[in-house]
Amino acid sequence: MPTTTRTENGFRFLRFEEDGPVARITLDRPEARNALSMALSDELFEAITLVQRSTTIKVLVLTGAGGTFCAGDDLVEFAGLLDSESADLNQAIRRVRVYQAMANTLEELDKVTIAAVDGYAVGGGLEITMACDFVVATERARWGMPEVDVGITPGWGGTTRMSRLIGRRLTKEVNLLGALHPASRAWELGLWNRVVADDRLEAEVAELVEVLLSKNQQMVRQLKFIINRGVEADLHTAQGFEVLSVGVTTAVNGVWRVPDADQGDGLRDFAAKGALWQRRRGLARDFWADS
């Protein structure tokens, strides 16, 4: 797939590419297995924000250079900060909140997101995949949350999103034991969508992108939104999202008029300070206001 690299963005630790409606972010610290240093994390957030602002991008693919998706947070960098005279607990908390904001922004994009995983996706790398809509991985890929063995805990999805995806009991197993699991188990648990032969990753992702781009993009955006919101709500609230989505869908398909609605007259009359506006405000402005 031909791409045009947006070198003018000046990224050092990742590559950001656009090819029509498809964007690709490639983590590019292969010498460190694409570990998320603070600098790379800042660039990743910036790249995700570029995608968020775009009105032409429909699909975002995230991947890693050098045969590894992402080995998680840069623990060597983190260890160095512990002995620094400027070490500050509040700064660590602020940093985690930035990472949470990054994952939340990724999850809430009005584009479809695909994590293309080869090699390791552990710690923060796994947390990235859990904020994506689709995850396609190679058979040789490995995943896990090994933070427990260095005396830290996940900060942006390793306990929260994971428990929503695979349940409390399995999330405890993954986090408390810290094992590295084969890609096949992520598929079995519903954590990832597909596991493909090691030489099939790019082709499989390209085929998935083709299918997604063939869809009615407004319907894709609505479905993603109501599923993301509905899963965090009680059943009746979630059904409310479905009802409103049906209304939007019907309007988008051309049936938008409601006989006892204004059809925009209320706003137009407000701008003109016309009779409709004057009558409504005249009736309502002081009604029961003395109570």
d(CA 163, CA 248): 32
Report d(CA 215, CA 221) in Å as an integer: 10
The long-range contacts involving 101-105, CB below 8 angstroms and separated by at least 24 positions, are 101/45, 102/41, 102/44, 102/45, 102/48, 102/156, 103/127, 103/128, 103/131, 103/156, 103/157, 103/161, 104/131, 105/45, 105/48, 105/49, 105/52
Query: Would you call 116 exposed, middle or buried from its count of C-beta atoms within 10 A (0-12, 13-18, 19+)?
Result: buried
Options 31, 46, 77, 127, the catalytic residue: 127
Q: Which residues pair with 61 in a beta bridge?
A: 24, 114
- Round to whole Å and give the CA distance between 30 and 32: 5
Active site residue 127: yes
Which has the closest alpha carbon to 111: 37, 203, 18, 194? 18
The catalytic position among 31, 77, 108, 147 is: 147
Active site residues: 127, 147
